[in-house]
């Protein structure tokens, strides 16, 4: 009797030592920051070689349920639906019977929860080989649950760390793109006896795909332009940065040819975007001596010119840039600007802004605003327009980048 008791105590001590050593091995690996693959190998060794489980599956939640470990199971993993078959179990449960043929091959379900969230489900087979040793078997399963919890939380922490690193890298890239994008826009727009020019821009996200520019060509001639790239984010911002740089390198101060410029820009967008994005673009060349405005509208929202009463839309042009390898046509528009004429350029974030009733702000409402407050300076006009846009959308978010570029030529 005493010998059996001593033997039992020795076995218990051996089991405790094994469990303690196993936990120390796992925590040491975690503290050493070994990868997920190595952690799983340690976990599989403990379950299979040291505890003797020859068949087990571990499902892990990582943006969806995935099979993290599969040992000794010949069936199809897809036959087990975690949310349908396992989600209801919150405690270690012996499988007496199951409608699922795959699930019936296992003895025990071991759920792993962390802070109330289901992180994993372990299925174990051959747990209860000897009904007289069921207590010992389930004691081992409790240890396995603890071990699985530690492993799965470590895997989750590594995933979150990787995700955090990726997010931090994206954040840095966005910061760089945002700073780069600020350089795209002219920092000093003129307001003098000849002209009053102002712009206002709000990107939907940290970086956007809208662009406007004012480029003097000597003392008497000027370029004004506005553009919007399809798609958003870093890719769109980079494409627009490339586009802006190309515009400035293509200007020839002795000879300015609008058709040549558009054709070259189209080729550049096609090479850069490979047909995956396109750019709508409006560009105008203004001669202050002759008061002639020459322009091309490449699929952009129609800018308009007005003297406070009459409105003319600037629609002559071509299709958007990057839509086709070659532009099928380019129609160059020309206008003679009378004194005190205003040109308003804008992107679709202005006119396509919706209110709570899903109504667009619309170009007509924009024109009416400009007419009602025509005497205002351009900066004040733009601020007024943006305040009206805020009123229009109410509590809704911006649906797109939003830019207004207003020019008055005296």
Residues in CB range of 97: below 8 A, 6 or more apart: 104
How far is the C-alpha of 237 from the C-alpha of 201, rounded, in Å?
14
Q: What is the set of domains in the chain, with CATH numbers?
A: 2-163 (3.30.450.40), 185-409 (3.60.40.10)
Percent of the chain with pLDDT over 70: 88
* pLDDT, position 14: 53
The pTM of this model reads 0.60
Q: What is the DSSP string of 75-104?
A: S-GGG--IIIIITT--S-EE-S--S-TTGG
Listed range (131-135, 223-227, 259-263, 324-328) with the worst mean pLDDT:
131-135
Listed range (176-180, 309-313, 318-322) with the worst mean pLDDT:
176-180
Highest mean pLDDT among 7-16, 158-167, 193-202: 193-202
Q: How confident is the model over 97-147, as pLDDT tens digits?
A: 777 888 888 989 999 887 788 889 999 987 755 444 444 556 678 888 888
Q: Which long-range contacts (CB under 8 A, 24 or more apart) does 65-74 make?
A: 68/40, 68/120, 68/152, 68/155, 69/40, 69/43, 69/44, 71/44, 71/47, 72/125, 73/102, 73/105, 73/125
Confidence of residue 395 (pLDDT cuts 50, 70, 90): confident
Listed range (30-34, 172-176, 182-186, 251-255) with the worst mean pLDDT:
251-255
* pLDDT, position 36: 86
Listed range (91-100, 102-111, 265-274) with the worst mean pLDDT:
91-100
* pLDDT, position 339: 93
Listed range (73-82, 134-143, 362-371, 391-400) with the worst mean pLDDT:
134-143
Mean pLDDT, all residues of the chain:
84
How far is the C-alpha of 312 from the C-alpha of 289, rounded, in Å?
22
Q: How confident is the model over 69-79, as pLDDT tens digits?
A: 999 988 888 88
């Amino acid at each position: 009797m005493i010998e059996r008791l001593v033997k039992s105590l020795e076995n218990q001590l051996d089991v405790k030592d094994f469990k303690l050593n196993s936990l120390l091995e796992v925590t040491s690996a975690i503290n050493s920051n070994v990868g997920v693959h190595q952690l799983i190998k340690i976990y599989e060794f403990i379950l299979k070689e040291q505890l003797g489980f020859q068949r087990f599956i571990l499902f892990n939640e990582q943006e969806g349920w995935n099979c993290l470990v599969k040992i000794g199971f010949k069936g199809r993993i897809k036959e087990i639906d975690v949310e349908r078959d396992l989600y209801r179990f919150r405690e270690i449960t012996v499988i007496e019977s199951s409608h699922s043929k795959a699930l019936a091959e296992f003895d025990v379900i071991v759920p792993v929860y962390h802070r109330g969230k289901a992180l994993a489900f372990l299925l174990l087979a051959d747990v209860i080989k000897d009904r007289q040793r069921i207590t010992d078997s389930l004691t081992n399963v409790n240890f396995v649950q603890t071990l699985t919890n530690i492993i799965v939380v470590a895997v989750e922490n590594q995933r979150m760390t990787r995700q955090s690193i990726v997010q931090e890298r994206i954040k840095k890239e966005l910061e760089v793109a945002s700073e780069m994008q600020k350089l795209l826009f002219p920092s000093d727009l003129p307001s003098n006896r000849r002209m009053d020019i102002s712009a206002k821009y709000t990107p939907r996200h940290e970086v956007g795909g809208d662009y406007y520019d004012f480029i003097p060509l000597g003392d008497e001639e000027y370029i004004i332009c506005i553009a919007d790239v399809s798609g958003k984010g870093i890719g769109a911002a980079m494409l627009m940065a490339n586009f802006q740089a190309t515009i400035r390198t293509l200007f020839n101060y002795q000879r300015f040819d609008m058709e040549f410029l558009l054709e070259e820009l189209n080729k550049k967008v096609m090479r850069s975007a490979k047909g995956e994005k396109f750019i709508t673009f409006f560009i105008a060349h203004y001669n202050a001596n002759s008061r002639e405005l020459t322009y091309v509208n490449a699929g952009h929202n129609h800018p308009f010119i007005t003297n406070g009463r009459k409105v003319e839309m600037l629609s002559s042009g071509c299709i958007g840039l990057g839509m086709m390898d070659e532009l099928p046509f380019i129609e160059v528009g020309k206008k003679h600007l009378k004194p005190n004429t205003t040109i308003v350029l804008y992107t679709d974030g202005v006119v396509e802004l919706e209110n709570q009733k899903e109504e667009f702000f619309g170009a007509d409402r924009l024109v009416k605003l400009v007419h009602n407050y025509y005497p205002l300076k351009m900066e004040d006009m733009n601020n007024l327009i943006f305040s009206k846009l805020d009123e229009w959308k109410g509590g809704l978010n911006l649906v797109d980048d939003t830019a207004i570029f207003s020019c008055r030529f005296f």
